Amino acid sequence: MKYLLTIFIEHKDQESFVKSVGREIQDIAKTSAIKYFFGPQAAIFTFETKTSFVDVKEFFDNILSDLSITHILVPIKTDKMSYWFEKEHEKHLFGTDVCTTNEEFSMEEQNDMIDAMYGGLNSFMDKDISIKNIFDMIDNQPQEVPTLDDLLDKINNSGFDSLTKDEKDLLKQYSK
């Protein structure tokens, strides 16, 4: 089975870190032909092994999860995946030639779309900012406070127990 492993980490020596993970993967890989691509905050590996998924998962749980390193491990089935990489990276990682350059929209139009999709977060992507900081910014956005009518509708439709703790506290405030 061929696997895709994505690791999200920013290491002071990213290249050495990626190579050390590659050496670890060699312990379970079918061949030493482990392919990888990395940037300042993430690394992508592809490798093949006869080891069962359960054992491969346990292997990475022991190496990465125990160190609290965020990662995703999935079997590669390119006919059942959606992905896009620049041609050279696609050929290197997957051995496929299905990704095409978008010629329908200008680069400016594509950037506008990315801005719309990520609520303006694209402007942060060129800066030295961690993914955690981006999610913190999203989490710290003002939340819409439900009205008394919203809470009463929710109780009417789903029952009192469907309210969250914050909603119950808000209901108490409204009752004062």
The phi-psi region of residue 3 (left if phi > 0; otherwise alpha if psi is between -120 and 50; otherwise beta) is beta
Q: Which structural domain, as residue segments, surrounds residue 157?
A: 145-176
- The pLDDT tens digits for 122-157 are 444 444 444 455 555 555 555 678 888 888 888 888
> Distances in Å between the alpha carbon of 109 and those of 84, 100, 105, 114, 130?
18, 17, 6, 9, 25
> Are 131 and 160 members of one domain?
no
- The pLDDT tens digits for 54-69 are 999 999 888 887 788 8
Residue given tokens 């696609």 in the structure block? 90
Q: Which of 131, 153, 172 is nearest to 8 (CA)?
A: 131
Residue 77's pLDDT is what? 79
User: Looking at the chain, which runs of residues are DSSP E strands?
Assistant: 2-8, 35-38, 42-48, 70-75
* Res. 81: pLDDT tops 80: no
Residue 42's CATH number: 3.30.70.340
> Are 82 and 163 members of one domain?
no
Q: Name residue 53's amino acid.
A: F
Total domains, the chain? 3
Question: What's the predicted TM-score (pTM) here?
Answer: 0.52
> Are 17 and 49 members of one domain?
yes
Mean pLDDT of 90-98: 68
> Are 70 and 111 members of one domain?
no
> Are 49 and 17 members of one domain?
yes
